Chain A
Amino acid sequence: AQSVTQLDSQVPVFEEAPVELRCNYSSSVSVYLFWYVQYPNQGLQLLLKYLSGSTLVKGINGFEAEFNKSQTSFHLRKPSVHISDTAEYFCAVGKTSYDKVIFGPGTSLSVIP
């Protein structure tokens, strides 16, 4: 069965420090990969997605993610975080043979002033 793993449930980081949120998935076929962000008391919104082509994907608010097929990973990075980046981040996977998207358990990013 397809699954998405986000090993870090909580990530505290100081303001202006870099951050990496990890995502691994299990799939033997081609996948589509997403990162969604959920700010406090809001719904989810798309941060970025990988469909094909360049493995480095740039998203909104200075975030980027790199697709690594051999390691089945899609880690999210930002070189310098801001207080406003405090949120829950969800990795999600879709594949052509399965019409539903699977979400990971989420990583709570807390930016410390």
Chain B
Amino acid sequence: DAGITQSPRHKVTETGTPVTLRCHQTENHRYMYWYRQDPGHGLRLIHYSYGVKDTDKGEVSDGYSVSRSKTEDFLLTLESATSSQTSVYFCAISESGQPQETQYFGPGTRLLVL
């Protein structure tokens, strides 16, 4: 199994509070991704990173920010959580970001915004 951990695994928070999710990898892969998974929508890309301090937006980036200060860590921040951000968040990694590459996923973080 690829070495990908996510923390926390579960979180309950209140509307308007900031939340940070962490993804940590031990594979030294260049690309890292944050997805959200919602019923009927599958996985939707929030943000991704192609190197330290190099990030870009995905299709559902509004309300989210990311940072990558080290190769192994990719942080997702909800600046002011809303109920619509209740979801399961997955981190994924790939070696060089090529579309034919396999992505390896972490175990997910369940976030409930009350």
Contacts and interface: CB of A to CB of B under 8 A. Distances in A.
Interface of A: 4, 6, 9, 32, 34, 36, 41-46, 49, 51, 90, 94-96, 98-101, 103-106
B90 A94 contact: no
B86 to A, nearest CB: 17
Interface of A is mostly: strand
A49 B107 CA distance: 21
A7 to B, nearest CB: 13
A100 B100 contact: no
Interface in B41-99: 41-45, 48, 58, 90, 92, 97-99
Task: Name which of B4, B58, B100 has the most chain A CB atoms within 10 A of its CB.
Answer: B100
B103 interface: yes
Task: Name which of A43, A51, A98, A103 has the most chain B CB atoms within 10 A of its CB.
Answer: A43
Nearest to B4: A43
Nearest to B90: A43
